[in-house]
Amino acid sequence: MDEQNPPIQKPEPMSVRDAGRKGGRATRARYGPEFFAQIGQKGGKAVSQRYPSEHFQEIGRKGGRRVAELVERAKRLEEELP
Confidence band of 55 (pLDDT split at 50, 70, 90) = very high
Examine the pLDDT at 10 and tell me if it is beyond 90.
no
Average pLDDT over residues 14-42: 95
**Dist CA 23 CA 8 (whole Å):** 26
Taking only the tens place, the pLDDT of each residue in 63-74 is 999 999 999 999
Confidence band of 1 (pLDDT split at 50, 70, 90) = low
Beta carbons within 8 Å of 20's beta carbon, 6+ residues apart: none
**Dist CA 77 CA 71 (whole Å):** 10
Average pLDDT over residues 27-40: 95
Examine the pLDDT at 12 and tell me if it is beyond 90.
no
